[in-house]
Each structure stands twice: as structure tokens, then as C-alpha cells.
Structure 1
Amino acid sequence: MHERALRLIDLIISEALDEIRPSFDPLKGYEYCLRGECEGVGEALEYLYERGYLRKELHDRVASCPNCGSEVFLLRAKCPYCGSLNFSKGIVIEHLSCGYSGLEEEFMSPDGRRICPKCGKELKAPGVDYIRVADIYRCASCKEAFSVPLYSYRCLNCGHEGPMIELVPKEVYKYLVVREAFESDPISRKILDIVRKLADIGYRVEGPRARVKGRSGAEYDFTIAVWLEGSDEPIAVLDFVRGPIDDERLLSFFAKSLDVMAKERILVTQAKDSLMEAKASRLGIRVFELEDEDLVGKIGEVLLSLHVKGSET
């Protein structure tokens, strides 16, 4: 679990947060911030969501750049016929007496009165002599008239340009805290304590639920996986088992930990069995009991020794 996820968990617990909402920055779009810092917070929220600590609820749906996903654009309006930016907005009015319709500028005389170009009568009162029919644009380059300009966009993040129809709908979520995941499950609490301990030692740690690729190309799920910085192969993998360990679970853990080439293999169980512990020992697997008061310290000691050896090499 990366540092921001751990800090976010601490903040949720210490401040009894129920939800985390995104904020909108006019220069960046929607972003998630943690005590004034925004970098990496969105990834940390998604990390906790995937592991059951948060759930999502739709907050907004916005248009986004198809190239980079940004929500911040410069919109441009152009003539739909020639693409010119040189056009102006006018008003179409209708003379009620003779029925002539045209741009308001056609009715304007040099002295500022409205005179119908068809019948020559003066239009004095709106709603009595004439009515406003519509707004219209006229292009100064190609002289065409149109009711709606052609809008295009330029992404202010990556510079991509295109018609607005290219923009992609994007869901923006707020995250709701699954309080039970933090409070009611003793296994979850111990996992978080161990993750913090190993991160403090200096390891790169993923958990709860870490996915690791083995030499065979297969991917495996572990409760916690631990790496030395700069290493692709985990130095240790841990699985937490609810209830007792059986032969099938033991052999499955052995096989996947062997494929990922972990130096240290650890199983934590709620019900420790001396016979199964002996079998595990012959396979090079350590077994710890969840209720051990010094569980976090013992696992920390085992992996601290590996960290020291790794630093010496």
C-alpha cells in the first residue's frame, strides 16, 4: 500500500470522515486533495476502493478530452460554412403590418429610426409594430447566415483540438467510507498495522490484496507483498487465513509463493495447528497466529533482517 493510502487511512480514522469529495480547480478540473496536497490522492482513493475500504457514488458527469481525460478546455466558435472566426450576432425582426422579416440592421435608418425596407413605414413599438423573431449570426467572410456557430475545443492540458462531438463523457465520483472495513474486522486491522510497520522499515509494500506476477507468467493474489526498492521480485509474501489452514490452502500458497520467487513466505491464521505448522515449516513457510499480541513486531523482525541483508548486498 503506497504512502498516500496509509495517510488517507489515518486521516479517515483520526477525523472520522464519512466521505471524500472531489474539488474543482478551474485550471486542472476535478481533483482529490488531502490536507492541501493533491498529487497521488486519486490513485490512493481508487486503491482503497478496490480493497473494500471505500465505495463510490456518482458526484458529477463531465465532458473530457479524448486524448488525456482533462476536463479543462478553451472553446472556440466558428462559421459552420467557412470556418472563419469573423462573424457577428444579429436580431431578425418581423414587421407585423406587411410581414417583411430581416436583420434589424436592415431596418435602421441613418437617423436611428426603424424603417421597413419593404413598405417604408416606421416601426415604433415592439410587440405592436414589430416582433423579435430570432437571433442569427452572419459571417463577414463568406456572408452566410446561421443560427448556431460551429463549436470546437482545445484541451488546455495536452493541446489536443477537435469538434465538440469528440468529447467523452466522464464520471466523477465521491468516495464513501465503509466504516465496517476499518472497525469490525480484526484481520483488516492487523493487515493495516503490518503494512505500516513494513513501510516504516523501508520496504515497498502492497496490501491488502496484492497481485504479483510469477516466473510462469501467471498472476497471483496475496494479502500482502513486499519488495526491496528497485527490485521486481518480492522479498516476501503473506496470506491471512480465516479459520485453520488445511493441506489444500498450504500447498496452494507454497506453489504461488515459489513461482513469484519470494524469499520469505508467511501465513497468518486465526487457528494455529501444530501439525500443519510442522508441514509448513518443511516447505519453508512461517506460520503466525492472528491473536498473537506481538504479531506485528514478530513479522517486522523477520523482514527487518531481510532488509538488512538486502542492503548489505
Structure 2
Amino acid sequence: RQLKLPAPHVCLGIGSGTQAVQTGRIMIEFERVCLRQDPDLVVVVGDVNSTLACALTAAKLGIPVAHVEAGLRSHDRSMPEELNRIVTDHLSEFLFTTCRDADNNLVGEGIPREKIHFVGNVMIDALKKYRGPAGRSKILNKLALAENGTIAKFAVLTLHRPSNVDDPEVLSQIVSALVELSSHLPIIFPIHPRALKQIKRFHLYERIRYVSDLSRSIREKPQQEILGIPPLGYLDFLALMSKAAVVLTDSGGVQEETTILGIPCLTLRANTERPITLTEGTNRLVSHDPEIIRKTALEVMSGGKTKKKAP
């Protein structure tokens, strides 16, 4: 509603599940849609399970597939998203890429050049379109981060990948590093439901302050703490991220968004499918090593060298 997007004509209603269960259910339901609608083209975006499932379903029915955000590679096949990207690209007739690195990846995998179309980044198009409306968000006031025109210094954290939140040792290392970092500035953590579930399961919940209801403003200004909040809408999150001193994330999209915004980004992963954010942007890989996270964050906050060129 915030972005004035129309309601979908069809909702598959799949819900959560294991990788195989979710992918299979999507394929069954999407096949019914294809057989009923008989589309001339199926357009899939990104690298989630629905991307793979719909591409595979369409290809088996002889329907051409177009993939938006094609060619991105982390070269880490332990990531479900990497498998989704590779299979989807090799099933697609039209591959729309965001950067020249992606073009080169596809050519290197034997995909004909005539199928590859460098079109730019639609996610960044959206960011630029909605940056103005995001500036009218009241999220900083609700979180007691803005008062009388002054914005407090804070960090933003997002965390959702299974490799980070499903392993108790890894998640504990990350939380420990962030608790220490929060002694220098508050960390605002919009918590993905999966991450919240695991934080409770691994007995890490008491290490953050979680506010479950943002319908009313927080009275006390965040201090030396990790402040957990429910997931935010796009405009509120963009407003929050735009004013952060540093963003810590395992999200691919946030790596690109922070580069465009000129905000330092520390990626809590050992690799990235968006290397241009490292070579030209504001991103650094810190994995889940507590010492590297702490050292790099403090360096960035003290004005350490961070590339700020928008690719």
C-alpha cells in the first residue's frame, strides 16, 4: 500500500516450509496458473525459491523465461540462493543483468551473448523513486532517534540468512560482537521472524531489548544496546538506513542500497554475489568473526577509508 502497488491477480498461498517443500508447492500451484492462463512469457526476479520454481515450471511447459537480476554469483554453492540463480539463468531465454560482472559470469558459463541484456538495477531505480517519500517517514521520531532536528548516531542491523541464524555458534558470535559494538552506539535491529525465532531458541533474546509494538513512539532514547523492533515497511526502512552511521547486514539488496546512499556497509558473510559493492561501493566483508566485525566497525565509524563511488 505504501508504494501504491496493485494487488496481485493471483496469490499462490504457499507459506513457509523446507527448501524442497516450498519449491515443490510453488511448482504445483504455478503450473495450474500457466495451464489456465497460457502466458507468452514468464518473468522471474532475483534468487528466491519462487524464482527457481516458476522458471523450472515454465521451462518444462515450453514457455520462455526472462530473469531479472541474472548473472549474479557468490561462487558459494552452499547458499540456496546461488543454486537458484544458476539453474534459473540456464533455463532463461532473456537474461537481464545489473552489472558487467554479471554479463561476464554468464558468458563464462556458456550462455550465448545474444541472450544477455545489460539493463541496470531495478531495485536502485525503486530506491531513487521512493527516497523522497521515505524522507517523510516518522520512524526516527518513533524510535527516539530524532529530536528538535538533531539525529542521534546509530547503526542498523539486518540478519536473516540460514547460515547466520540457524547455527547457534555463528549466531552467538555475531550477537556477542554486536553487543560489544553497541557500547559505542545503539544498534537498531528490525528482526526477521526467522531470526527472532532462532534468537529465542538459542537463548540470546535477553541480550537485546525488543520492542514488539511501534504503534506508539518509544519514550526512552536508545542507549548502549541492541534495540530489536518488528520488520519495517520499505519507506520506513529506507528512511532509517539513510541516516545510519553504519549498516550491518547479510542481505544482498542492502549491500547495493547502502552503496548508492553512501552509507558504510559491513556484510556478515564470507562472500557476496555483488562484488561491485566491494570494488566501487561502500561495502566490506566481515563474515561472523567477532574481532573483525568490531575492528572494522570502529574503523568505519572513526572515518576510516570507505569507497563511496556509486557504480
Q: TM-score, normalised by structure 2?
A: 0.26
User: Hey, which of these two has a bigger chunk of strand by percent?
Assistant: 1
Structure 1 or 2: larger helix share? 2
